[in-house]
Structure 1
Amino acid sequence: MKIGREDFEALIKGEKDITPYIELDPGAGSYSVFGVKTASNPNYLIKAIYEMYEANLNKKLAVKAVRKLFRSVGMGSSGLYNLLKKFGMDLKPAEFLMLVFKLQHQQGWGAPFELVEQSEKRIILRTKHTFEAEILKEWKMPVCGVHMGWIEGIMMAVTGKNWYCLERKCVANGDDCCEFVVDQVDPSWKFKAQAVVKGDSAITEFIEHKPVEGTIKLIDDPVVIMPRFVFTSMMNSLKKTMGEMPAGGVNYRAYMDMGRENVEHYKKMGITQPNTLSDMAFTFYSQMGWFHLVKSEWNEAKKEKTITLEHTVESEAFGNTGKNVCYCTAGLLAGIIEGSFGIKVQGREIKCRSKGDEYCVFIITNKSE
């Protein structure tokens, strides 16, 4: 089916809708809009995508994962944008965004959108409801990852710049509408890393894994997946050479250096606030499977930090040994604190799951010069 400038102009003005441009051939199993083959997206499919992510993350991060997925869908709108330019239609980004959503929502993706505000660096959109807000009402939180991703992808496609979309209101959260605020932002790892610390993102969003090529990158740096038995193998090898306590000391110092260097890497992102640096390191190691942070307490009088962890790599790897085993983790925590706060510290493990304790507990104390 041919479509021209006059058709799009009529659609924008509301003089036409997409009904005449839909072709359905059940026998051939094809469904086309404007001559472009597409497919229906039943609600249960979208719900299944959300629940698949939620099973491994949580509801908030599942929305983020869906958002990332549909950002790529939004980027595909560049084809329509270029077609309109061929017709001599030079729409502003906000105008094009509204056209895309008019076309989508007339296919059942929610209520019509209203353009509330537009400027060079900010756009605010509102709708009575989106389809995902309707099908995920039981989540009782902002859920419109599909629309946030679309919006970001569309804006990136037509402007060549980075945009961040925040859902300020959501029907699934009990609000009277779904409202989206879209801001042009500078892409920076400082912005992304801080989102991970706040719980707004997970590091999985920033992992580039190419298993066939044998490469993994996190925040653009090469990383490796290291099995836990490496710790038992490394410790046992050192114990044979120098004895248990000296081997523990070597591991402690090596991982202390690693903790400090890790913080220096974050500083290169432009992050300088000590608490943010340490929180970032703890969050990243936790999300990479090294441990789970249960709590962190500070004793001002003693200048002493108590860090409680569960399933540390060493306690999980060694199992029940009847003694403390987390030399690497103790050094890592001490190095993170030293690097973040610019002080000399000493770390020691006072409780360990390998000794039968409920948690692995570490004391980090200021070390006199």
Structure 2
Amino acid sequence: MLTLFILFFLTRLKTQCIYQPKLKKLLINQKLNVYLNPMQLSRRAGGSKMPRWFRRKIKDISEDMMKAGPYVPPPTRPNQVQTATVPPEMEPLFSKAEEYVAKFFDDMHWDPTKGTITISGNRYMLLSCESFRDITRSLASELDIPEEKANNLYYRLARLVGQSDARRFHYTMNVQDPIGKLSAGPIHFAYTGNAFVSLLPSNPTPDENYVLMYDHPQSFEADVWIRKYGTTNQFPVCYWNCGYSAGWCTESFGIALDAKEIRCRVKGDKTCRFVMAPKEKLDEKIADAYKKGF
């Protein structure tokens, strides 16, 4: 009996030694961040049968989780912009921006076995938009401050996040031109699920005359608010959309910009509309927008 056990042990040891190079090659080729014990690796490297559930698990993780990127259909005409709506004269610029934003998001790795989502080497995380719906009310209650101050605090936080995201994106993709940096913003906004952006006739110059008018037809904040409360609110609610876009453009142009929502779907308006300008000029630009019928 002892002799049989020794022979069995030596046979297994020989098997492991023979398959060791194959195991190493398997690990390099598969690039799977999942835990495989030596027995499972040995079976896979040697071509032996592996439990069906385990093969399915590896396949699911490698194809559906480890590499998951958004899909945008190919354009049907030259310079067609599909992830934003822009004036015709700006289409070539935004079409180019779509290319490098798509390249940025193509490098997406989603690995639940490590609790990580990385895009072009940057860590991301998923958050439910529903969690943002009543956040300003909660802030006002927790901090014992007026809701208006809570709204401003929330807006400022979003503005800082927008600046930080823009700075990191510009560095990662080596975008230098201010208009090029701006054009990436709406595309990035669409890819991250914040909103679709529709640019209106504007004058985004890096000086005191800067003004940007734009719609967010699918603002996540308006969507989640309407889902629960309907369209009966008296005030706009898209503070994150507002602050984030102001932060992105502030970083892109190197001038301090602020934005304000002048129409919102939660009030019954057809779209969520924003005006962005230097802080000292914002009220003036909003008045001009109303005069022009915006």
Of the candidates 279, 291, 304, which is equivalent to residue 183 of structure 2?
279
Alignment of 1:326-341 (within 5 A): 326-341=238-253
- Residue deviations 1:10-45 (CA, integer Å, cap 9, x gap): xxxxxxxxxxxxxxxxxxxxxxxxxxxxxxxxxxxx
CA RMSD of aligned residues (A): 3.0
In 1: Cα distance, 2:99 partner to 2:270 partner: 27
1:216 is aligned to: 117
Provide the secondary structure at the position in 2 that maps to 1:268.
helix
Structure-1 separation of matches of 2:97 and 2:170: 16
Tell which has more relative contact order, 1 or 2 (C-alpha 8 A, sep 6+): 2
Matches within 5 A, 1:190-269: 197-198=98-99, 201=102, 204-240=105-141, 241=143, 242-269=145-172
Deviation sequence 1:153-187 (CA, Å, 0-9, x none): xxxxxxxxxxxxxxxxxxxxxxxxxxxxxxxxxxx
Counterparts in 2 of 1:215 and 1:334: CA distance versus 1, 3 Å:
same
Gaps of 5+ in 2: 1-69, 79-93, 282-294
Alignment-mate amino acid for residue 234 of structure 1:
I
Aligned counterpart in structure 1 of residue 266 of structure 2, from 331, 341, 354? 354
Instruction: Tell me, yes or no, if the aligned pair for 1:344 and 1:366 is still in contact at 8 Å.
Output: yes
1:367 to 273, 276, 279: 279
CA distance in 2, matches of 1:307, 1:259: 16
Amino acid at match of 1:266: F
Name whichever structure is richer in strand by fraction.
Answer: 1
Partner deviation per Cα, 1:327-358 (whole Å, 9 max, x = no partner): 11111111111110011222100001111111
* Of 345, 356, 360, the match for 2:257: 345
Is 1:60 the equivalent of 2:74?
A: yes
* Structure 2 counterpart SS, 1:60: coil
Name the aligned partner's letter for residue 275 of structure 2. Answer: I
Task: Report the Cα distance in structure 2 between the residues aligned to 1:216 and 1:333, rounded to whole angstroms.
Answer: 23
Equivalence for 1:292: 196
Segments of structure 1 that go 5 or more residues without pairing to the other structure are 1-55, 62-138, 142-192
Distance 1:243 1:232 in 2: 17
TM-score normalized by the length of structure 1: 0.45
Q: How far apart in 1 are the matches of 2:176 and 2:217?
A: 28
CA gap of 1:227–1:364, structure 2 versus 1, over 3 A, is same
Contact map agreement 2:179 2:252 (CA 8 A) in 1: yes
Q: CA deviation at 1:272?
A: 1.4
Structure 2 equivalent of residue 318 of structure 1: 225
Give the whole-Å Cα distance in 2 for the aligned partners of 1:246 and 1:239: 8
Distance 1:273 1:140, change over 3 A: closer
Cα distance in 2 between the residues matched to 1:214 and 1:194: 34
TM-superposition CA deviations, 1:137-157 (whole Å, max 9, x none): xx999xxxxxxxxxxxxxxxx
Q: Residues of 2 paired with 1:363 and 1:140: CA distance?
A: 30
Kindly provide the amino acid, as one letter, of the partner of residue 331 in structure 1: G
Give the 3 Å change call, closer, same or farther, for CA 274–231 of structure 1 in structure 2.
Answer: same
Map of 1:81 onto structure 2: none
Q: List, as ranges, runs of 4+ consecutive aligned residues in structure 1 with deviation greater than 3 Å.
A: 56-59, 193-196, 198-204, 299-303
> Aligned pairs, how many?
186
Deviation at 1:206, TM superposition (A): 1.9
User: Conserved in 2, the CA contact under 8 Å of 1:203 and 1:287?
Assistant: no
Structure 2: which amino acid aligns with 1:345? L
Check conservation: 1:294, 1:308, Cα contact below 8 A. yes
Q: Name which of 195, 210, 216 aligns with 1:309.
A: 216
